[in-house]
């Protein structure tokens, strides 16, 4: 059973993980900036106030987090989630430059990291299929800047409006927003408003990975 304090602590942890204050997180989620203030967590007569499921949903959408991320935060600090015998704070995942991701030899047929040339970066997860890509250039502005690191999960369930990384069979790698996926094609919205959207035949897609975190 989750307590009132644990729910609010989980929200605070998600805010901190994205370098935001509780007010900044609320604003990013399209809520009143005071929604998550400590003064709003109980009423004047001392009754506990709980965040609504709608508010939590908006927070997860705004930060690109999953319900699993939120459940993990409920169990303890995200930077020190236990993973077997070792702490998740010591976990490392493969890191590759975005430009290199289009070259051959770095991914297997399923889109998972293989071969040499990968660096490592610390990230609190033990999930399989999670790796990092470093943004290069300005094509993903204003959402992602040159040098930002985005964490992606290969094999994660995709939903409309998810931020994703897609690699074509010709080696083109792009970060986009998923608008629609059919058995024949996938429609994408560009993160940079100066770039047009894309419609790609399913047969031309090598792999797709969901963006679950970014170092902004």
* Within a domain: 85: no
Cα–Cα dist 186/199, whole Å: 6
Residue after which a domain boundary falls, among 34, 54, 80: 80
Same domain, 98 and 17: no
Same domain, 143 and 112: yes
pLDDT of residue 127: 66
Residue after which a domain boundary falls, among 80, 113, 132: 80
Assess contact for 152 and 165: CB atoms under 8 A. yes
pLDDT of residue 80: 36
CA 149, distance to chain mean position in Å, is 11
Encode pLDDT of 82-103 as tens digits. Answer: 333 333 344 678 888 877 787 7
pLDDT of residue 86: 37
Partners of 150 in the beta sheet?
133, 214
Exposure pattern of 169-207 as b/e (b: 16+ CB <10 Å)?
Answer: eeeebbbbbbeebeeebbbbbbbeeeeeebebeeeebbb
Domain count, the chain: 2
Same domain, 103 and 147: yes
Q: What is the pTM of this model?
A: 0.54
Q: What is the mean pLDDT of the chain?
A: 81
pLDDT of residue 87: 39
Encode pLDDT of 120-174 as tens digits. Answer: 877 766 566 788 888 888 778 878 888 888 889 888 888 899 999 999 999 888 8
* Domain around 21: 4-80
Same domain, 17 and 48: yes
Same domain, 71 and 156: no
**Percentage of the chain exceeding pLDDT 70:** 88
Determine how many CB atoms are found less than 10 A away from the CB of residue 135. Answer: 22
């Amino acid at each position: 059973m989750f307590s009132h304090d644990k729910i609010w602590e989980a929200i605070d942890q998600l805010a901190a993980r994205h370098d935001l204050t509780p007010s900044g997180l609320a604003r990013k989620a399209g809520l009143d900036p005071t929604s998550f203030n400590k003064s709003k967590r109980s009423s004047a007569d001392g009754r506990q106030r709980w965040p609504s499921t709608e508010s939590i949903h908006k927070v997860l959408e705004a930060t690109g987090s999953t319900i699993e991320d939120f459940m993990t935060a409920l169990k303890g600090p995200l930077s020190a989630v236990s993973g077997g015998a070792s702490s998740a704070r010591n976990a490392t995942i493969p890191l590759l430059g975005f430009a290199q991701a289009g070259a051959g030899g770095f991914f297997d047929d399923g889109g998972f990291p293989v071969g040499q040339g990968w660096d490592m970066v610390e990230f609190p997860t033990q999930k399989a299929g999670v790796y990092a890509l470093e943004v290069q250039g300005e094509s993903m502005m204003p959402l992602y800047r040159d040098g930002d690191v985005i964490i992606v999960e290969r094999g994660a369930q995709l939903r409309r409006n998810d931020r994703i990384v897609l690699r074509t069979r010709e080696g083109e790698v792009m970060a986009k927003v998923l608008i629609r996926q059919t058995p024949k094609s996938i429609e994408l919205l560009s993160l940079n408003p100066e770039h047009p959207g894309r419609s790609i035949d399913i047969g031309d897609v090598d792999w797709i990975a969901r963006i679950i975190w970014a170092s902004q």
